[in-house]
């Protein structure tokens, strides 16, 4: 099956810093999504982005499907951005998640 690799596995920032999270996938995909799981376990679907760039406030994402990667940018990070960020891809009908990037934003 398709492999999804996220990097870095862990990231620690000071409030106000910017960051880039990466998702590499091993095969062509129908779509790609980014999710955030906060420290209390709540999952939030951030972006559906099979290609191109989208922005939502301080978060933006870019997927280059031909090169099989996606990037999630977090600008001016806040403590509420802490948690795990998952990338998930759909190839055919299967949805496969990466292992996530654990982000900690310190005040």
CA distances from 42 to 53, 83, 97 (A): 25, 10, 16
Give the nearest distance from C-beta 22 to other proteins in angstroms.
17
Per DSSP, helices labelled H in the chain are none
Stretch in the footprint of other proteins (CB under 8 A) among 9-17, 20-28, 64-72, 85-93: 85-93
Q: Which is nearer to other proteins, 18 or 45 (CB)?
A: 45
Q: Of residues 25-64, which lie at the interface with other proteins (CB under 8 A)? A: 30-31, 33, 41-45, 48
How far apart, in whole angstroms, are the C-alpha atoms of residue 71 and residue 78? 19
Give the nearest distance from C-beta 36 to other proteins in angstroms.
10
DSSP state of 16: T
Question: Is 38 within 8 Å of 82 (Cβ atoms)?
Answer: yes
Using CB under 8 A as the binding rule, whether residue 94 contacts other proteins is answered as: yes
**Chain positions contacting other proteins, by CB under 8 A:** 30-31, 33, 41-45, 48, 86, 88, 90, 93-95, 97-100
């Amino acid at each position: 099956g398709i492999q999804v690799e996220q990097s870095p596995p862990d990231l620690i920032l000071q409030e106000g810093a910017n960051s880039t999270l990466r998702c590499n996938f091993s095969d062509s995909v129908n779509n790609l999504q980014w999710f955030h799981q906060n420290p209390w376990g709540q999952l939030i679907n951030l972006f559906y982005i099979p290609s191109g760039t989208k922005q939502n406030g301080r978060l933006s994402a870019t997927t280059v499907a031909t090169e099989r990667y996606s990037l999630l940018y977090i600008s001016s990070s806040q403590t509420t951005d802490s948690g795990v960020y998952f990338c998930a891809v759909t190839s055919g009908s299967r949805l496969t998640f990466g292992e996530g990037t654990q982000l900690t934003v310190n005040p």
